[in-house]
Chains A and B, each alone.
Chain A
Amino acid sequence: ETGVTQTPRHLVMGMTNKKSLKCEQHLGHNAMYWYKQSAKKPLELMFVYNFKEQTENNSVPSRFSPECPNSSHLFLHLHTLQPEDSALYLCASSPSGDRVVGAFFGQGTRLTVV
């Protein structure tokens, strides 16, 4: 059973909808991440949060809005998405100071924009 849980696992939304992806970790990690995995492209880092503060935004369009209310929860709010935003969205977390394990990933939310 993964230590990082993402909900929902699958989501279909229209371009005018507003939805949110949720990520939860109970591993005691202080850093959380959103990655995007599109077909035929490498995983792309979207956002990084450390101790609830956003430390990185990799030029992500504003229709993606992250929120990190505490070190255990991370959200990705979606609005007015485009069909090309259809992808697998992976949440990850990592402990501070422990380099060996890199990132712990959730199972992802498979998003389809219609």
Chain B
Amino acid sequence: AQKITQTQPGMFVQEKEAVTLDCTYDTSDQSYGLFWYKQPSSGEMIFLIYQGSYDEQNATEGRYSLNFQKARKSANLVISASQLGDSAMYFCAMREAGGTTDSWGKLQFGAGTQVVVTP
């Protein structure tokens, strides 16, 4: 069963505006991590932001912030002041607690949201 759900296949956003990308997840673990990655057309997956399940404050990294609502199992990404270079696919991913600390790159991904920033 799909554990990460991204319901927005694509979005258009105007330059300098903020955009929110939705992500919901499903896990029975108490300890887990949530990630957002950006994938430009070049193919590389670029790490943007991380939220741990026990982190009380929402994560922020520059223009990226993660709106973490644990009870709703929601981890939405907010990009403020969009730039043309933000046009890309955005993936939400989860790392569950099972396994050793040697495999923290073992991630489950959502289907992604294509963001197009327009001038």
Taking Cβ atoms with an 8 Å cutoff, the residues of A that contact B are 2, 30-31, 33, 40-43, 45, 48, 50-51, 55-56, 88, 90, 92-108, 110
Which residues from chain A contact B108 at a C-beta distance below 8 Å?
42, 45
Interchain CB contact under 8 A, A45 and B111: no
Q: Is the interface of A mostly helix, strand, loop or mixed?
A: loop
How many inter-chain contacts with C-beta < 8 Å in the A-B complex? 92
A-side contacts of B16, CB under 8 Å: none
Known: A2-B44, A42-B109. A99 touches B52 (CB 8 A): yes
With A33-B105, A40-B111, A100-B52 known, 15 other A-B pairs at CB within 8 A are A31-B105, A33-B106, A41-B111, A42-B108, A50-B100, A50-B103, A88-B43, A92-B45, A96-B104, A97-B102, A99-B101, A103-B105, A106-B44, A107-B44, A108-B44
Choose among A30, A51, A56, A102 the residue that contacts B47 (Cβ–Cβ < 8 A): A102
Instruction: Please tell me the number of chain B residues within 8 Å of chain A, measured between CB atoms.
Output: 29
From A33, A42, A110, B4 is in contact (CB under 8 Å) with A42
Bound together, the chains give a CA A56 to CA B102 distance in angstroms of 12
Q: List 7 A-B contacts (CB under 8 A).
A: A31-B105, A50-B100, A94-B104, A96-B101, A104-B105, A107-B44, A110-B43
Task: Tell me the dominant secondary structure on chain B's binding face.
Answer: mixed
CA A33 – CA B106 in complex, angstroms? Answer: 8
Which residue of B2, B35, B100, B107 has the most chain A CB atoms within 10 A of its CB atom?
Answer: B107
Q: Which residues of A contact B107 (CB under 8 A)?
A: 43, 45, 102-103
From residue A7, how far is it (CB to closest CB) to chain B in Å? 13
Q: How far is the CA of A82 from the CA of B17 in the complex (A)?
A: 44
